[in-house]
Amino acid sequence: MQTGRFTLQQAIDHMVREVPLMEPDLARYDLAIYLRRPSYGMNYVMGKLQMEDLLNERARQLGDTFDLGRFHDEFLAAGPMPISLIRWEMTGRDDHMRKITAQGTQP
C-alpha cells in the first residue's frame, strides 16, 4: 500500500485470501496500524533477531544441558522487559547493556 500498488480494499482482500483465518475487519485494523506507523513491522523483526541471538547464545553457553522448554520458561519468567535485560539476567553478560547506556551518555 505504501508504494501505491494496492488500495486499502485490495490489501484487505489479499490478506483475507492469503492469511489463514484472517477476517476483513481484522485485516483493516492491522493495515491501518502499518499505514499510520510504517516502521511498526520492523519492531517484530528486531525482536525476532534479538530472541534468536539470545537462544543461540544460551544454547552455546549451556551446551548439552540446554533445554528449549526450560529456556522459554526462564525467558517468560523474566516478565515484560527488554530482551537486552533478559539476556543479561539469563546469561550474566552485560555487554549489550553497557553499550546501550554508553550510547545514551554520549553527546
* Structural domain boundaries in the chain: 8-38, 41-105
Q: What pLDDT does residue 105 have?
A: 56
Whether pTM > 0.75 for this model: the answer is no
- Alpha carbon distance 54, 59 (integer Å): 8
Residue 25 has pLDDT above 80, yes or no: yes
Q: Between residues 96 and 74, which one has the greater pLDDT?
A: 74
Average pLDDT over residues 20-39: 92
- Alpha carbon distance 47, 44 (integer Å): 5
- Alpha carbon distance 31, 8 (integer Å): 8
